[in-house]
Amino acid sequence: MSKAVLITGASGGIGQALVKAAADKGYTVFAGVRGETPALAGQGNVRQVRFDVTDPDAVAAAAKQVEREANDRGLAAVINNAGVIVRGPVELVPPAELRRQFEVNTYGPAFVTQAFLPLLRTGGGRVINISAATARQPMPFMAALSGSKAALAAMSQALRMELATWGIPVVLVEPSSTATEIFDKADDAARAALALADPGRVALYAAHLAAVGKAMAAQKPGQVEPVVRTVLAALQARRPRRLYVAPGDARLVGLLTHLPAGLRERLVTGTLGLAGG
């Protein structure tokens, strides 16, 4: 009987690609989605499980469903992939958006891990949390994302030590920027937030936002495949590393963490056109 995994945020982007790749490797994949996803239908070893990672009761119900359908074999892995990106100056990010950022990126993985740990113990599985390079090197105008992923990274490190008794590895994967709809959604949400903010305060950041927008537009997001291969490596390794960094800009950002803080900040702001701002 094939091993089973749970992948959250499976309706699109990296998550959907991960579901297909894991299924192709022979895993039974429980694909966590908020609504029915036609693109995942018709695959014999993919089972959609509908729940919202920010709702602990829905997560608990999903764990019961997976327990029934896994036929006592447990899970080989829980891959906490569901995430959102909130952009904008901290001064102008609406409180509801700040909460949403942490609810999905930080609380969501915690709720999912809590509910599914019994299945991981049964299956001798592991936790794989999808982090971000901004967890190690925060970026201006992405403070909410940086904070939520830094919190996830810290929580993962603590959890790794807590679960060592049962031999359950806790792994972080840092993807590089990819050409998925998550960035378009982030841009739309940021524009909507700015439209509702105090125009006087928005004007203070006009030049900064224009510079960052120009710098971001010049960057070419990578493809999903290298990220998927990195996650699969973390899934299949007999002794997984604590951190896997996908090829691309995530590795470049990681190199910055070895520099003195002042130099690091000057390089970041200079690259984004914010030097002297």
pLDDT digits (tens, 9 = 90+) for 201-213: 888 888 888 888 8
Query: Which residue's entry shows tokens 């949403």?
Result: 100
- Spatial CA neighbour of 89 closest among 173, 179, 210, 170: 210
Q: Average pLDDT, stretch 59-84?
A: 96
Average pLDDT of every residue of the chain: 90
Listed range (129-138, 141-150, 186-195, 215-224) with the worst mean pLDDT: 186-195
Q: Which fold has domain 4-271?
A: Rossmann fold (3.40.50)
Element (H, E) at 232: helix 224-236
Average pLDDT over residues 232-252: 91
- In angstroms, the Cα distances linking 245 to 5, 78, 198 are 21, 18, 39
Q: What is the pLDDT of residue 204?
A: 86
* Res 111: pLDDT: 98
Contact 47, 91 (CB under 8 A): no
Work out the average pLDDT over 62-77: 95
Q: What is the pTM of this model?
A: 0.91
Provide the 8-state DSSP code for 125: -
Q: State how far the Cα of 103 lies from the Cα of 166, in Å rounded to an integer.
A: 28
Mean pLDDT in residue range 117-136: 96
Strand order in the sheet with 126-130: 46-50, 28-33, 4-7, 77-80, 126-130, 170-174, 243-245
Domain ranges in the chain are: 4-271
Percent of the chain surpassing pLDDT 90: 64
What gap in Å lies between CA 95 and CA 270, rounded to an integer? Answer: 29
Place of tokens 């190199």: 255
Q: What H or E segment, with its residue span, contains residue 266?
A: helix 261-271
CA 12 to chain centre: 13
Residue closest to 31 by CA, chosen among 249, 212, 277, 17: 17
CA–CA dist 10, 7 (Å, integer): 6
pLDDT at 1 over 60: no
Please give the residue that has the higher pLDDT: either 101 or 253.
101
Is the per-residue pLDDT at 277 higher than 50? Answer: no
pLDDT tens digits, one per residue of 73-98:
999 999 999 999 998 999 999 999 99
DSSP 205-231: THHHHHHHHHHHHHS--B-HHHHHHHH
* pLDDT band of 70, cuts 50, 70, 90: very high
pLDDT tens-place string over residues 29-41: 999 999 888 888 8
pLDDT tens column, 174-200:
998 876 565 566 677 777 777 777 888
Task: Give 71's contacts (C-beta < 8 A, 6+ positions apart).
Answer: 1
